Structure 1
Amino acid sequence: MTQLDDSKKLVLILEDEVLIGINLQDELQDAGYRIAGPFATCASALEWLQTSTPDAAILDAALKDGTCREISLELRKRAVPFVIYSGYGEDRELLAEFHQVPWIEKPVPLSVLVQACQQLLISPY
């Protein structure tokens, strides 16, 4: 059995597009991160958050069961930095209370998200 390296930072991925989630997971693991998820729904991420806390998170703004608002509030309460990754500019209005959070519009190369995650861990907003 392989033992997990707990010294690596843990990044939560909330993304309902399976291929995007898997590709992002691969990119972040290649960059040296441990991954929680990818979670396709807010409900599944909230369930995971009942017993765990990530070091950072990448959140799709709109999921099958609603916006990432509830996850964002929980992460903010725990002082976990996160970036919102969305293909819809109008989602900014739905999540206006998170205007200080870095926002990355889809599509972008996944390396942009890896860099954003690295920046969050160095100097959170």
Structure 2
Amino acid sequence: MITLAGSKRLVLILEDEALIALDLQDELQDAGHEVAGPFTACSAALDWLQTATPDTAILDATLNDGSCHSVAVELSRRGVPFLIYSGHQEDKQLLADFHHITWIEKPIPPAVLVQECQQLLVACG
């Protein structure tokens, strides 16, 4: 992981709606986290993941360049906990590979997502 003990936790944001992404970034930073992104496309997040690993991630299910599946697979391979925050109803096909993933439907206040991220970080140590 990129973070050291006692340092800020790094949260990757994959969200293609600018206002949602910026609100979420602000809330996470206000809660003491560092933010990777926000990335608006899976390809950009995958490029970033070539040289870094977040502590946790918030993924929109569907981006301008397709499903978040490839990013979710890479995060899972690295043992990075993540949740999906989407304007779409829960996608059973997408979740088939990720039984342990929390799916949160938009809209909810960004503070709720921050709390969910913190719970992921606590659960995974």
TM-score by length of structure 1 reads 0.91
Query: 5+ residue gaps in structure 1?
Result: none
Give the equivalent residue in structure 1 for 2:18.
18
User: Identity of aligned pairs, percent?
Assistant: 63
Return the letter of the residue paired with 2:30.
D
Give the equivalent residue in structure 1 for 2:105.
105
Give the equivalent residue in structure 1 for 2:96.
96
Q: Provide the secondary structure at the position in 2 that maps to 1:53.
A: coil
Aligned-residue CA RMSD (Å)? 1.4
Matched ranges for 1:1-125 at <5 A: 7-89=7-89, 91-124=91-124
Per-residue deviation, 1:98: 1.6
Per-residue deviation, 1:9: 0.3
Per-residue deviation, 1:33: 0.1
Query: For residues 2-38 of structure 1, what are the alpha-carbon distances to aligned partners after superposition, in whole Å with 9 as ceiling and x for unaligned?
Result: xxx9610000000000110011000000000000000
Per-residue deviation, 1:78: 0.4
Partner Cα separation in structure 1 for residue 99 and residue 106 of structure 2: 17
Return the letter of the residue paired with 2:68.
C
Partner Cα separation in structure 2 for residue 95 and residue 41 of structure 1: 19
Return the letter of the residue paired with 2:28.
L
Per-residue deviation, 1:92: 3.7
TM-score by length of structure 2 reads 0.91
Query: 5+ residue gaps in structure 2?
Result: none
